[in-house]
Amino acid sequence: MEQNLIDYEALKKRGFLKSRAAGEFALRTRMPAGNYNSTHLKIVSNIADTYGEGFVHMTVRQGIEIPHIKYADIDNVEFIVKQAGIQLGTSGSRLRATTSCPGNNWCKSGLINTFAFVDALENEHGIICAMDLPHKFKIAVAGCPNLCTRGQSSEIGVFGQVDLKAQDASKRIGYGVYIGGCGGKNPRQGIKLEKVFSQEDLFKVIEKVIEFYRKNAQPKQRLGETIEQFGKHKFLEVIGLELTGY
């Protein structure tokens, strides 16, 4: 196909990113919380051997990219990947793959089950990779305040934390969150909400933040900039946190 007839934006949404070499693409795959099983890895390896150049690249968002795929092979590769239950990553103005540390699944410092959190985020709340948004938007989940997934510099950075004020000892472990951070050319640290949330309350906050962003952001504007323009306190009011005092 003529290069200028290719809809690169549509391919990007499907996880196929235009490479520097003409007619070549890198397939960006992802799995929830970055967990590929051994079958997925064999399939990825076969695709790299058959359609790529026999190697893969691990992305910073815990996905696997397979470079050097020819335009003519895209539909075949997509079919194989989907059949294997491997999900497609994305790029552009959308929600990127949510990153997650192991949390209490095996890390000794983990306070929360990060994998279960990501599963609920995606499957119960529909906040899933490739969702169209005004600009790139990143969510990072960490099992404890060490924040190994760098939630401070993500649009939403969730982490497990202990609520020392909780009367009921069984409710001491909850969720902290940073909102509005980002990397890029104008990096910024997110606002840390000084409150320990229950999982359900935090999902409500995340949904309101996304709704706020959709409604108020200029195209190609990161959340942190939108909050700055809108006003931090007004933003906290809109997402229902005016009484927290932050």
How far, in Å, CA of 37 to CA of 29, rounded? Answer: 13
| CB nearer to ligand SF4: pick between 5 and 164 | 164
How far, in Å, CA of 77 to CA of 54, rounded? Answer: 14
CB of 69 to ligand SF4, least distance (A): 32
Binding footprint of ligand SF4 on the chain (CB under 6 A):
101-103, 107, 109-110, 142-144, 146-148
CB of 114 to ligand SF4, least distance (A): 7
| CB nearer to ligand SF4: pick between 101 and 239 | 101
What residues are paired with 132 via a beta bridge? 94
CB of 100 to ligand SF4, least distance (A): 8
| Angle in degrees, 0-180, between the axes of helices 223-230 and 199-216, rounded to the nearest 10 | 80
Q: Using an 8 Å Cβ cutoff, are 122 and 114 in contact?
A: no
| CB nearer to ligand SF4: pick between 147 and 238 | 147
SS3 assignment, position 193: strand
CB of 137 to ligand SF4, least distance (A): 21
Specify whether the backbone of 48 is left (phi greater than 0), alpha (psi in -120 to 50) or beta: alpha
Q: Which residue is nearest to ligand SF4 (CB)?
A: 143
CB of 115 to ligand SF4, least distance (A): 11
The phi and psi torsions of 65 (rounded to 5 degrees) equal -100, 135
How far, in Å, CA of 3 to CA of 152, rounded? Answer: 40
| CB nearer to ligand SF4: pick between 146 and 198 | 146
CB of 107 to ligand SF4, least distance (A): 3
| CB nearer to ligand SF4: pick between 93 and 104 | 104
SS3 assignment, position 191: strand
| CB nearer to ligand SF4: pick between 66 and 147 | 147
The phi and psi torsions of 127 (rounded to 5 degrees) equal -95, 90
Pairing of strands 57-58, 139-142: unpaired
